[in-house]
Amino acid sequence: MLDKLSEIEKTALDALGSVQDASSLDAWRVAQLGRSSPLMQVFSGFGALSKEERPIVGQAANKVKAALEAALAEKTEAVKRSALERSLSGEKLDVTLPGRTIHHGRLHPSTQQLRRVLSILAEMGFQVYTSREVETDEMNFQLLNFPPHHPAREMQDSFYVEAEGREENPVLMRTHTSPGQIHAMREFAAMNPKDPPSIRIALPGMCFRYEQITARSEIQFNQVEGLAVGKGITFSNLKGTLIDFAHRMFGQNARTRFRASYFPFTEPSAEMDVECFVCGGKGCAVCKNSGWLEILGCGMVHPVVLQNGGYDPKIYSGFAWGMGPERQLMLRYKIEDIRYFWGNDVRFLEQF
C-alpha cells in the first residue's frame, strides 16, 4: 500500500507539471484530489487493513494529500502569473481614451434659492429662526388675527390632524411660516418682559395647503418670512429694507413698486412687485403684459399680533413680509410648472 501511495504521488506530480492553464488545473484537481481519485480510494479502503497497518498507511496517505495540495496551490499562483503576463504582453491599453465622467450630486434648486435668500438677509442683519411644521389652530390662525370663521381662512385650506379632545384647537400642518412670528416674539419677550428686546429674524420652512395641484399651485412649498420688531419702526423702514433686498437679489438696477393689499396679520399691507426680468418692463407673456412680477407680500405687524406675541403695540411696532423661493425661481427662469420642483425629474434638476 505504501508503494501504491508513492506511485500515486509521482504520477500526480508528473501530470501537474504539464498543466498550463486554469481549466487544465481544475481538471487535475478533480482527477487527483476528487472523490473518485486514486488517493481518495486509498482512504476509502482503510476498513480492509489490519489495526497495525491503518496508522502507518493513514499517515503516509495524509502526507501524500498534503504534498499534492501544496503543489496545487503553488501551481495555481504560477498559472495566474502566467495569465497576467500574457494579458499585459498581448493586450494593449489606450491611455488616450477619455475617462468616465463622475456625476456629482448637487443641491435641489429650491434649496439653492432658499440659501441665497437667507444669505442676503443675513448680510442685512437678519437672524434665521426655524419653527415647527405641525401647529395648533391657535398658533397658525387665531393668534395671527384669523379668528374662527374668518373669511381669509378660505384662502388657506388646511391639512388637519385628528386628535381627540382638541376640537376647539385642532392640530394641522402649518399653512405659512407666520406662526413662527408668535413663537419668536414670545421667546424674545420672555427674556425681559418689562422691556423686550428688538427682533430682526428670517423664518424659512415648508408650508402645506390642501389645494388642487396645478401648474401654478402645489400642496407643499417653501416660504421665507421676515420679521422686524422694535421701537419707532415705520413703513418707510419696511420699504427701504425690501427695496435693498430686491437690489441685492435681482441687481442694483432692479425697479420695484408697492401695491395696497390685505392680510389679517398686517395693517397696512402691500404687495411688492419687481420689474419683469424678461421684457424689461415692456410687457410680455411672463408678466401678463403688465411689465411687473409680484415677488412678496408685506405690511406693518397688526397690533393684535404684537400683543399676542408679548409686545405692547403702544410702544413697539414692526413689519413683516413673506416670499416663496420656488415662485422667484419660476419668474427668473420662466418655469411654467411648479410641479417640476417635486417631480424628481433629473433632467429638470440638473439645469440648476
pLDDT tens, 102-114?
A: 878 888 999 999 9
Rounded to whole angstroms, what are the CA distances from 64 to 8, 22, 26, 103?
Answer: 8, 23, 19, 56
When the pLDDT of each residue in the chain is averaged and rounded to a whole number, the result is: 86
CA 234 – CA 300 distance, rounded (Å)? 8
Rounded to whole angstroms, what are the CA distances from 339 to 105, 215, 220, 293, 321?
Answer: 21, 6, 10, 20, 25
Exposure string over 253-285, b if 16+ CB within 10 A, otherwise e:
eebbeeeeeebbbbeebbbbbbbbbbeeeeebe
Judge whether residue 143 has pLDDT over 90. yes
Tell me the average pLDDT across 158-167: 73
The pairing of strands 127-128 and 199-208 is: parallel
Cβ–Cβ < 8 Å for 270, 296: no
Q: Where are the domains of the chain?
A: 2-90, 109-349
Give the other-Cβ count within 10 Å of 98's Cβ.
Answer: 5
Q: For the CA atoms of 288, 291, 293, 299, what is the dihedral angle to 10 degrees?
A: -120
Cβ–Cβ < 8 Å for 32, 15: yes
CA 145 – CA 266 distance, rounded (Å)? 9
Supply the pLDDT for residue 154.
Answer: 61
Cis peptide before 197 (omega within 30 of 0): no
Cβ–Cβ < 8 Å for 158, 175: yes
Judge whether residue 269 has pLDDT over 80. yes
Cβ–Cβ < 8 Å for 251, 291: no
Among 50, 21, 110, CA closest to 329: 110
Cell of residue 113, nine digits: 434659492
Judge whether residue 151 has pLDDT over 70. no
Supply the pLDDT for residue 134.
Answer: 93
Judge whether residue 126 has pLDDT over 90. yes
Global pTM exceeds 0.85: no
For residue 132, name the pLDDT band (cuts at 50, 70, 90).
very high
Judge whether residue 164 has pLDDT over 70. no
Instruction: Tell me the percentage of the chain whose pLDDT exceeds 90.
Output: 39
Output 280 or 220, whichever has higher pLDDT: 220
User: In what helix (H) or strand (E) does residue 116 lie, and over which residues does it extend?
Assistant: helix 109-123
Judge whether residue 276 has pLDDT over 70. yes
Judge whether residue 212 has pLDDT over 90. no
Supply the pLDDT for residue 155.
Answer: 57
| Radius of gyration from C-alpha coordinates of the chain | 40
pLDDT tens, 29-40?
A: 888 888 888 877
Q: Give the least confident one: 17-31, 190-204, 309-323.
A: 17-31
Paired with 135 in beta bridges are 172
Sheet strands side by side (includes 171-173) = 134-136, 171-173, 160-161
Backbone angles phi, psi at 125, to 5 degrees: 95, 15
Cβ–Cβ < 8 Å for 199, 306: no
CATH class assigned to 109-349: alpha beta
Torsion 218-295-293-297 (CA) sign: positive
CA 31 – CA 36 distance, rounded (Å)? 7
